[in-house]
Amino acid sequence: MYVAVKGGERAIANAHAWLAEERRGNTDVAELSITQIREQLSLAVNRVMAEGSLYDPDLAALAIKQARGDLIEAIFLIRAYRTTLPRFGASEPVDTGAMACDRRISATFKDLPGGQVLGPTFDYTHRLLDFKLAADGGQPEAPTREAEPGDVPHVTEFLNREGLIEEAPHDDTPPPDLTREPLEMPADRALRLQALSRADEGFTLGLAYSTQRGYARNHAFVGELRIGTVPVEMDIPELGFAVEIGDVSLTECETVNQFKGSKTEPPQFTRGYGLVFGQSERKAISMALVDRALRWEELGEDNVGAPAQDAEFVLYHADNIQATGFLEHIKLPHYVDFQSELELVRKLRREASAAQVQEAAE
Amino acid sequence: MSLMAKAPEGRVAALLDAAMSRPAFTWLRAPEIGSTMVRGRMGGTGAPFNLGEMTVTRCALTLRTGEVGHAYIQGRRQGDAEAAALVDALMQTDAARRLRETVLEPLADEQRATKAARAAKAAATKVEFFTLARGED
C-alpha cells in the first residue's frame, strides 16, 4: 500500500542536482560528446538500441551519457522515448540474404560461397590489456582488398538442397506485436522472436548456456553468423509503393541443431534463429539457442522441464526493463506495508511469550 | 528517395543549396518524427516477425507550381526531410535534369564509394585456408 507523503521535494531536487554533477565528473577532464559515444562505444550503443528496441544510434548514445554508462538505465530511457513516437507503419521484412556483410562466418562449412569473412572481431585477440590505448590510440587503418560483387547466400540453403534441414517456408502472415498487445501465453514463434530480440543479453546468454550444459540439450552449431547492413523498405501510403527509407545494421545467427526425428518430423537438422539490431553477436547466438529450445513442442520433442523450454518463464523474465522496474520498486517507500508487518510480528511474539508463561505456570 | 533517405546528415541540403536557390513552398505536412516497425523473417526466409522500431522523419510539401514532394527518411532529421521533399517535388519540374546531375548522382556515387570501402575492408579479412602436410611418415 502506498500513501502520499510530502516533504521529499527539496531532497529529491538536490539529489538530482548532485546526480548531474556526478555525471559530469571532474570538470578538468573534457566532457564526452554524443558523437564520441556513438563512434567509440558503438557496441554499447548497439546493445541499447537492441534492447531498447529502437534503432537510432544518436539517441542511444545520448541515453548512455545521461545514464552515466548504466546500460539498463539507458535502455529504460529509450523505451520511454519510444512510446512517445507515432507509428508510421511497418517495414517490408528485411532481406538478410542481401546483407552487405562486414562479417560472415560458418562453423559448419569451411569452404562456402562467399567465404569466411572475419570482420572487425574480438575473436583471436589475446585478451591482453592494450596499454597503447591508454596513452594514445593513434589512427589505425584497416587493410583492404578488392571485394567480390554479389550477394552472399545463406549457408542453410546448401543443406536445404539435400532436404537435410527443415525449411523456413515463405509466409506472409502479419506478425503479432507485443508493443501493441500485451504478451500472452501461448506465444507463437513470431512473438517469441520479437521478445527475444529485445530481451536482456545477460539473461538470454544464461539461458542459452544452460541448454549447452544439458538443460534441454539440442547441440547447436553456428551454421552461420553474419553482421552487416540491410536496407529497410517501407510502403509509403502517399506514393502507393515501397521505398528504402534507411539502412540498419544487424547481426543474424542461424544455428543448425541435431535432431533425431520425432513422432511428427523425420530425422533432419533443425534450426534456431537470432536477429538483433547492431553488432550484437553474443546476443544473436544466445537468441538462436533459446529460440530452438522453445520450439520443442512444434518439433514434437519431449519437455524435459528445462527452464529454456518454458516459454512463460523465459518470456516473462527476459525483459530487463520489466524486471528492473519490479525489482527496484521495493526500495521505494513501503512504510505502511511494513508497519502492518511490524504490528503482526509484535502480536505473534506477544502471543508466543504469553503461551510460554502459561506453560511455565502449569 | 532512397538515396536521400540514406544520405548523411545535412548532405542533401548542402547539395541542393549548391545547385539552386530553394523555391517557395507550403507544407502539406510539416516534418514529423515517428517510428517504423522493422520486420525480419524467421530463418531469414520464413514468416515475418517484428524486430524493433527505427526512428523516421516524414514530411510533405507543395510548390507554388503545384508539384507535391514527399520524404520518409531514417532518423530524426527535420531539415534533411525538408530538403529531400523539396528535391522530390523539384524532380517533377524542369529542374529535374539539373538535380539528377547535381544532387542524386553525387549521392549515388558517395554511397557506392562508402559501401565499396567497407566491403574492401571485409574482403581483406576473408580467410584463405590452406592444408599443411601432416607428418605421418
Q: Give the separation between CA B7 and CA A315, rounded to whole angstroms.
A: 38
In three-state secondary structure terms, B90 is: helix
Q: Is pLDDT of A56 > 90?
A: yes
Q: Give the separation between CA B88 and CA B91, rounded to whole angstroms.
A: 5
Q: Give the separation between CA A175 and CA A251, rounded to whole angstroms.
A: 21
- Whether residue A166 is contained in a domain is answered as yes
Kindly determine whether residue B49 and residue A172, on different chains, have CB atoms separated by under 8 Å. Answer: no
Q: What's the structural domain count of chain B? A: 1
Average pLDDT of the residues in B16-45:
93
Nearest to A246 by CA among B57, B110, B16: B57
Cell of A11: 531532497
Kindly determine whether residue A93 and residue B40, on different chains, have CB atoms separated by under 8 Å. Answer: yes
- Whether residue B136 is contained in a domain is answered as no
Average pLDDT of the residues in A161-172:
79
- Whether residue A188 is contained in a domain is answered as yes
Residue of A nearest to B72 (CA): A245
Q: What's the longest Cα–Cα distance across chain B?
A: 87
Between residues A88 and A163, the one the model is more confident about: A88
Q: Give the separation between CA B38 and CA A276, rounded to whole angstroms.
A: 11
At A286 the pLDDT is: 96
- Residue A269: count other Cβ atoms within 10 Å of its Cβ: 18
Residue that the C-alpha cell 514527399 belongs to: B70
Region of poorest pLDDT, from A27-36, A203-212, A300-309, A313-322: A300-309
Same domain, A71 and A217: no
* B65 inside 8 A of chain A by CB: no
Instruction: Report the sign of the C-alpha dihedral through residues A166, A167, A171, A177, in that order.
Output: positive
Region of poorest pLDDT, from A35-49, A148-162, B14-28, B71-85: A148-162
- Whether residue A214 is contained in a domain is answered as yes
* B99 inside 8 A of chain A by CB: no
pLDDT in tens, A312-346: 999 999 999 999 999 998 888 888 888 888 889 99
Q: Is pLDDT of A137 > 80?
A: no
Average pLDDT of the residues in A188-214:
95
Q: Between the ranges A71-80, A217-226, A237-246, A250-259, where is the mean pLDDT highest?
A: A71-80
* A144 inside 8 A of chain B by CB: yes
A residues 301-340 near B, CB within 8 Å?
Answer: none
| Beta-carbon contacts of residue B8 (< 8 Å; ≥ 6 apart) | none
CB A217 within 8 Å of CB A211: yes
* Rounded percentage of chain B residues whose pLDDT exceeds 90: 81
- Whether residue B49 is contained in a domain is answered as yes
pLDDT in tens, B88-121: 999 999 889 999 999 999 999 999 999 999 999 9
Kindly determine whether residue A236 and residue B70, on different chains, have CB atoms separated by under 8 Å. Answer: yes
- Whether residue B133 is contained in a domain is answered as no
Same domain, A184 and A263: yes
- Whether residue B129 is contained in a domain is answered as no
Between residues A161 and B42, the one the model is more confident about: B42
Model confidence band, residue A3 (pLDDT cutoffs 50, 70, 90): low
Kindly determine whether residue A254 and residue B56, on different chains, have CB atoms separated by under 8 Å. Answer: no
Same domain, A155 and A39: no
At A336 the pLDDT is: 81
At A340 the pLDDT is: 87
- Whether residue B46 is contained in a domain is answered as yes
Same domain, A157 and A54: no
Same domain, A169 and A295: yes
- Whether residue B124 is contained in a domain is answered as no
Model confidence band, residue A155 (pLDDT cutoffs 50, 70, 90): confident
Residue of A nearest to B127 (CA): A116
| Beta-carbon contacts of residue B39 (< 8 Å; ≥ 6 apart) | A90, A91, A92, A93, A94, A175, B48, B49, B50, B51
Query: Which residues in B lie closer than 8 A to residue A145 (C-beta atoms)?
Result: 120, 123-124, 126
Kindly determine whether residue B32 and residue A86, on different chains, have CB atoms separated by under 8 Å. Answer: yes
Average pLDDT of the residues in B6-23:
91
Same domain, A234 and A289: yes
A residues 89-128 near B, CB within 8 Å?
Answer: 89-94, 96-97, 100-103, 110-111, 115-120
* B130 inside 8 A of chain A by CB: no
This model of the complex carries an ipTM of 0.91
- Whether residue A4 is contained in a domain is answered as no
CB B99 within 8 Å of CB B23: no
Rounded CA Rg of chain B: 21
Same domain, A283 and A212: yes
Same domain, A72 and A111: no
Same domain, A248 and A207: yes
Q: Is pLDDT of B86 > 90?
A: yes
- Whether residue A354 is contained in a domain is answered as no
Among B3, B51, B104, the residue to mutate for chain A (most A Cβ within 10 A):
B51
- Whether residue A334 is contained in a domain is answered as no
Same domain, A51 and A196: no
- Whether residue B65 is contained in a domain is answered as yes
Angle of helix A189-197 versus helix A281-294 axis, rounded to 10? 150
Cell of A41: 562505444
pLDDT in tens, A99-132: 999 999 988 888 788 888 899 999 999 999 888 8
- Across chain A, mean pLDDT equals 90
Nearest to A106 by CA among A180, A168, A164, A156: A156
Q: What's the structural domain count of chain A? A: 2
At B132 the pLDDT is: 63
- Whether residue B127 is contained in a domain is answered as no
Cell of A219: 547441440
Query: Which residues in B lie closer than 8 A to residue A277 (C-beta atoms)?
Result: 51-52
Residues spanned by the domain of A55: 9-82
Average pLDDT of the residues in A298-321:
90
* B47 inside 8 A of chain A by CB: yes
- Residue A90: count other Cβ atoms within 10 Å of its Cβ: 19
At A219 the pLDDT is: 81
Residues spanned by the domain of B66: 2-119
* B74 inside 8 A of chain A by CB: yes
- Whether residue A51 is contained in a domain is answered as yes
- What is the DSSP pairing of strand B25-41 with strand A220-236? unpaired
Q: Which one-letter amino acid corresponds to residue A101?
A: C
Same domain, A36 and A114: no
Between residues B130 and A352, the one the model is more confident about: A352
At A122 the pLDDT is: 92
Model confidence band, residue A5 (pLDDT cutoffs 50, 70, 90): low
Q: Give the separation between CA B23 and CA A20, rounded to whole angstroms.
A: 45
Q: Is pLDDT of A166 > 90?
A: no
* A148 inside 8 A of chain B by CB: yes
pLDDT in tens, A241-279: 899 999 999 999 999 887 777 766 678 888 899 999 999
CA dihedral A182, A200, A175, A166 (to 10 degrees): -140
Kindly determine whether residue B123 and residue A194, on different chains, have CB atoms separated by under 8 Å. Answer: no
- Whether residue A108 is contained in a domain is answered as yes
